[in-house]
Structure formats: C-alpha cells, structure tokens
A and B are shown apart, each in its own frame.
Chain A
Amino acid sequence: MRIDFALIGHQESWRAAADVLAVLRGPEHTPLPDEEIKDILPWIPPRAVCHVEVGSTVHAKAHGLYIDSFIPPDHLEAIYVHDNLARVRAAAACAINAGAKIVSLGGFSSILIEGNFDQLPARRDTAFTTGNTLTVAFIVRGIKKMCAREGRDLRASTLMIVGATGDVGSGCARCLAPLVKRVLLNARKLEPLRRLAAELQNDGVQVEIATGQQEFSAEADLVICAASLASPSLLLGRLAPGAIICDAGYPKNLAPNAQMPGAKIFFGGLGQLTGGMKFTPDFHGILNRHPFPDVVHGCLLEGMALALERRFEPFSQGRGNITPQRVEEIESIAARHGIRLAPLYNFDGPLETGFDEETELEFGRTELSPHSDLQQHGVLHRRHVGPGQASDFVLQSVL
C-alpha cells in the first residue's frame, strides 16, 4: 500500500494511552486496569497504530500511518531524553520502512530532535517536517479570531509569549509582533531572548524580554503559552484582567484548575480537516480528543497538507526560522485542501459552534465533493454542532 505521510506522536495522558490500548484490545476484551497499562506501555516499541486516510476539498486523497513512539506520558522530563530520543528515532525508522514520503514530528518528537534532522535515521525518499509552521499559522489565526470575538483591538494589545525562543514561540512573535502595540518575550534563557528581541526591534517593534514574567513592566492582555513543558504546570504572571490566553502546548501548558479568574483561555494550534479523515482501525475521538470532528494538531496537519499537495519536502525544520511568509505559504496550501482553523474550545468545552461562517469566508467555500470516496463510505464527520452536541461527540467517541 502506498504511504504518503506518517504522523509521529505520543499520548499526553495515561487516560489517553488507556483509550488507545482499549481500542486495540477490542470490545470483546475487558479494558486493562490502569496499573497494568503503566507497566505495559513503556515496553511497547514504537510502531504504527493505525492507517489514516485524508480527503481534500479539491478531490485529492492521501494515505498515511499514525506511528506512536509510546513515550510514557509521565516520562517527558529531561531525565528521560536519551530514551525518548531513541523512541523518536525508532518511530522515524518505522515511517521510513513503511515508505512514507513525508513525516510530521508531533508533540515532543520535534522538541527532542531540536531541529537536528541528522539525528534521524538515514533516509532516501522520506522528508521530515516538524509541522510547526502550520501550528504557528493556527495559533495566529486563533488569536485574531478570539480578539474579534471579544471585541479587542489587536493593535492596542500587549502580547506576552511564554516559550518565546522556541520554534513555535519565535514564529508567533514574528507573525504577531508587527500587529500589536507591545511584545513581552519570556523564556528560560536570556541570550536567545536578546537575539529574538533584536530581530523584532529592527522591524520597529516595541519589545521587552524577561526570564521571569514578574519582571515585565506591563501587563499582558494577550498571551501565547508555547513552552515545552512535560506537564501542565505553567503559572502565568503579569496578566491584565480578562486577558486572552492561547494554550498551544502539547501537553498543555496550563492546568485545568489554573487560577486565572476572568481570563479567556482557548487551545491554540489546532486545525480541522473539512475533506474528511478516516482511521483504520477506528480511532476517531481517541487519537484526536477534541470536542469537534476531524480536529488535529497543526504540526500533524502540516504533513497531511503537504501530502495532499504532493509536496514532499522538509517544510519546517525546527530551527527557529519560521517567518510570516512561510506561515502564509503553508496556510494557503492547507486552505486549498480544506484544512482550516478548528473551532475554538478550552477545558470547559467549545467556545463556539462547529461551523464558522467567518472562517469559511476567509478560507473560501469548502464544499465537499459529492464524488469523494470518503464521503461515499460515510466517513465524513463534518456537521454543524452546537456546544452541547460537541460535548456529546466527545462522550460518544471516548466511551
């Protein structure tokens, strides 16, 4: 079978890992107890979990594999880096052996590779992409959409980016800094912060940098959380009342019980396939645990979009070089195939309905082809959903 793309990922929680194993065991077997899952999962070698077929609104189709590195959800800390890197390399080898033409490095996979693709196994016909450019595109678009929904003036806003010197954080800074009043860049290391600030200041942007958020002179009314954290443990400081916060982490940067009264939080970097997506075996709602159908992280969608476009190239190389031009380019490719910003949601559920006229207009009409194979096989899940219905979808999928 032709494999156009491969998606390398890992589960962000033991609950998610348990659900994956439950699908693999099938309904005729009782689900594994939690303690057995914690004993078994670390021993599973990286491997394909399912086939993924995606459709495009311009009748293109691409066939791929989801490969799980089986990094245990509680092994994302630095002390496990060697083991995790070995898992990503083994997952990459699976993708190469399967003949994938392009591979997206999801979640921590690209963080572990740190832009050094030479760490991946030798390959001839397989391109790797971190997928971060499309992630940045969806974060930026999400921020703009949320500002419009809340009646905020982007140009009057102070934007704080946490994890600002990372690939995603710096890409967001380059795209949004020219559009806001002031940018506050926060990261752990001062020197990369200085370099990024100098770059932005050359373009006339008002920039502050700090390794601690309390050091900033102003409060932020827009925040992008793009830190590479092993668990949702980020505490935000210097927030303006009612700040809009985009959590773009995988795992999430913010804990569900983070005390930020009045803050408008949404999960960023997510896109939605309107041309349909089919998992074999059926992992809908398990591998993509979102309250809307066919929503996928931007980093993985980038590989799918490039496969649909037949552009098998290392589009994002993870070296902090994401530019507004490249963001625009990947966004156009994605839009051409009906891949658009996902409806916004957060811990509490959807912030909007599943169908957005404004987004539709921006991306152009994305009607499905009546001749689409995926549609004929009844695997398209696009539908208009309200907040209540979307919650039902999650329950149906997960249970």
Chain B
Amino acid sequence: MATLTTITGSTSQCISLSLNAPIWQDVLAQAITGEFLAAMNYNSLSEICTDPEEVADALEHAAIERGHAARFAAEGRKIGVDASNNVEAKHWKRLREAFLRCIAERDFIGCLIVQEIMLESFAVASYARVGKVAPGSLGQTFAAIAAEEEEHVDHAMSILRAERALDAHRFDDKVYRLHLDVMTTLAKMLAKECKDGHCEVCHESCVKPALFDVSLSAAELRGASLQHYLRTLDLLGIPGEITLAWVAQLPV
C-alpha cells in the first residue's frame, strides 16, 4: 500500500508540475535573479572589506548564492523549463543600484542592512512559502534554501546589533533611509499587480495572477515577506511602533 501511495503521489506531482511548468518557470526565474544579484552584492562587498576574514566571508557568501542559483536552475531543467535570470530587469537593477551606493560610500553596515535585512527577508519568507506548496524536489529545494539563507543572516545580525548599541538613533536613521530606497522597490515588486508594466523577468505575461493555480498568491508572498522584515527589525531592537509606520507607508 505504501508503494502504491508513493507511486500515485509521484504521478500526480508530475502531472501538476508539467501543467504548471510555465508558472514555476517564472517563480524560478525571479529566485535565480535574486540569487545572482545577491552573489554580485557579496562580491562587491568583498571589495570594501578591510578585514581578511570579512573578505573571505563575503566571497564565501557570493559562492553560496551562486550555488543557490544553480540549484534553482537545475530544478527548472527537471521540469523541462529554462529558468533564465535578468539582473538588469528594472526592479532588480534598482535594488542593485541601491546596494552599489552603499559600496560607493564604503558603508559596510549599509550593505549588510540592504542585503541581509531587506533582500534576505524577501528571499527567506517567499522561498519558505513556495517550499510549502511546490511539489517534490522543487518544493524541497526552495525550503532548504530558505533555511540556509536564514542561517547566514545570524552572523550579520550580531554585527548590526553591536552597531546599533553604539548609537541607536543614528543606526535607525540609516535603516530608515535605506528602507525608503530599497523597500519601496521591493514593495512594488511584491504588489498584487505589477502597476509599472512588465517586470522583465517573467517570460511572458505577469505570473502573479496565475499563482493561485499553484496554491500561492502575490498577497501571501508580500504579507509573509513584510512580516519577516518586521520581525527582523524587531530583533535588531528598532521600536515596533516605528517600523510599523515604515511598512504601513510602503506602496501597494
């Protein structure tokens, strides 16, 4: 009986995957783009680090993110789709530019805030949601990468908490400035509808309306991402009433 259940389950997964392959293709394309962007960010970060240990850490993180991108691409191949990336797509490009401004100012803390607090919140929360509904190895890969991303945030959190302890007011101001820049772009990406036209990552039309077919929704991915972001800011010690207003003011 166990074998029969396994076979039946596996067959229905195959049917589901092939039917919904175009949806997963776009979901994977967004994830791969995000991972490549993260790899580029960590490479850039390594260039402003002075401590050799920090340089090595940044390069290691870049390699890990490239590894994630490769694992997502492999999942695409398994279901017969080419999940390509586009780090030049308008929203992703803006996120990269925000990070590069921190690099230009040799602002190590700013870089950590953008990458580890903002972009990773988005990645961890949305991958975890996809991991819950995507069938088979596709779901397992998303869930595993979500867990790995969450793990490496811990190191950055301890650095950022120490920085905030030195001057909370200045630190919170910096987070807010970066929030306006980065989270406004992320909020547009996470909006239920892409109001600024095609995102330049989805292969054809916007994937968001089709997410319901795979038990996901743009609203859920946005909610989970912003919730994760708020909780991460809580862990940094920024007062909840302040961060609530920040998030409430984001575009929808």
Contact = CB atoms under 8 A, between A and B. Distances in A.
A47 B248 contact: no
Interface in A45-98: 45, 47-51, 65, 94
B227 interface: yes
Interface in A278-323: 281
Given A45-B234, A65-B241, A94-B240, A24 B227 contact: no
Given A45-B231, A47-B230, A47-B234, A40 B252 contact: yes
Given A39-B192, A43-B227, A49 B241 contact: yes
A43 B234 contact: no
For A26, A33, A43, A51, the residue with the greatest tally of chain B CB atoms inside 10 Å of its CB is A43
A32 interface: yes
Nearest to A93: B234
B239 interface: yes
Interface string B213-252: 0000001001110110011001000011101110111001
Contacts of B244: 24, 44, 47-49
Contacts of A43: 222-224, 226-227
The A interface, classified by DSSP as helix, strand, loop or mixed, is: mixed
B144 to A, nearest CB: 24
B230 A45 contact: yes
B175 to A, nearest CB: 16
Nearest to A280: B241
Given A32-B252, A36-B252, A51 B223 contact: no
Interface residues of A, number: 22
Contacts of B231: 45
Contacts of B224: 43
Contacts of B245: 24-26, 281
B249 A48 contact: no
Contacts of B227: 43-45
Given A24-B245, A24-B249, A48 B223 contact: no
B227 to A, nearest CB: 5
Contacts of A24: 244-245, 248-249
A127 B240 CA distance: 21
A124 interface: no
A21 interface: yes
A39 B240 contact: no
A2 interface: no
Contacts of B230: 44-45, 47
A29 interface: yes
Interface of A: 21, 24-26, 29, 32-33, 36, 39-40, 42-45, 47-51, 65, 94, 281
6 contacts: A24-B244, A43-B226, A43-B227, A44-B230, A45-B230, A48-B240
Name the 9 nearest CB pairs between A and B, nearest first: A47-B240, A43-B223, A24-B248, A39-B219, A48-B241, A43-B227, A48-B240, A36-B252, A24-B245
